[in-house]
Amino acid sequence: MAVQRLNRDRLVAIAHGYVAENGLDALTVRRLAAAADVTPGALYKHFRDKRDLQRALADSVYATIDLDGLGLDSPQADQIIECCARMRQAMLGFRDGGRIVAGSYAPFAATVAISTTLRKLLAPLVIAPFDAGDIAFALRNFTLGFVIEEQAYLALTASGEWDGLVAKVRAGSPSTSHSGSDGVAILSGDRDARFRAGLAAILTGTVE
């Protein structure tokens, strides 16, 4: 393979393309090198290992979030929900986007920007004894978890496995077969509304 001069951003884009085709679990630094047509050694000046690569991928996901118009000068609860909704949409824009971001703790600009924005929206609204950082962490984790479950559902639906799994769940738990609030109903129904309802539940009693 001929060593090409590729910058970090281009390699991140190639990595996202690889994940789109093969999934996050299949991604390794060596496989990224093959996809980029370079030697593995050429990548290590950009990424120490897969975790470092994943942090770069996570930051590039967050970089797609439009933070304009969120009203940092006069925050309201609706703007907090909108901020989280934009986080969700950004992650849904990438295959395995939720899993890419989860646990990455990327120390890069876009990640810092969304975290700072969420805390600034919360700071003047949080009710004691709660703290803006604690509520921001809860909202972020709910958003991540929802997206991970959502993308798993979408993958199972695309592969034709969902209906069979649901049938087994229903057979094993008949008491939930007509529930409108179990996980199956939430994922297969209006996910936008359910997502916002979950955020509202976290904010109820914690913000003004």
Predicted TM-score of the model (pTM): 0.90
SS (H, E, C) the chain: CCCCCCCHHHHHHHHHHHHHHHCHHHCCHHHHHHHHCCCHHHHCCCCCCHHHHHHHHHHHHHCCCCCCCCCCCCCCHHHHHHHHHHHHHHHHCCCCHHHHHCCCCCCCHHHHHHHHHHHHHHCCCECCCCCHHHHHHHHHHHHHHHHHHHHHHHHHHHHCCHHHHHHHHHHHCHHHCCCCCCHHHHHHCCHHHHHHHHHHHHHCCCEC
Residue 85 maps to a domain: yes
**Number of structural domains the chain divides into:** 2
CATH label of the domain that carries residue 179: 1.10.357.10
**Given this model, what pLDDT does residue 180 score?**
61
Q: Which domain holds residue 127?
A: 77-203
* Residue 91, domain member (yes or no): yes
- 31: domain CATH number is 1.10.10.60
Can you give the pLDDT at residue 2?
44
Pair 122, 176 in one domain: yes
Residues 122 and 179 in one domain: yes
The answer on 131 and 43 residing in a single domain is no
Cis peptide before 129 (omega within 30 of 0): yes
Through-space distance between the first and last CA atoms of the chain, rounded to whole angstroms = 59
The verdict on residue 70 lying in a domain is: no
**What pLDDT score was predicted for residue 176?**
54
| Residue-by-residue pLDDT tens, the chain, 208 positions | 444 568 999 999 999 999 999 999 999 999 999 999 999 999 998 999 999 999 999 999 999 999 999 989 999 999 999 999 999 999 999 999 999 999 998 889 999 999 999 999 999 999 999 999 999 999 999 999 999 999 999 999 999 998 888 888 778 766 555 556 677 778 888 999 999 999 999 999 999 9
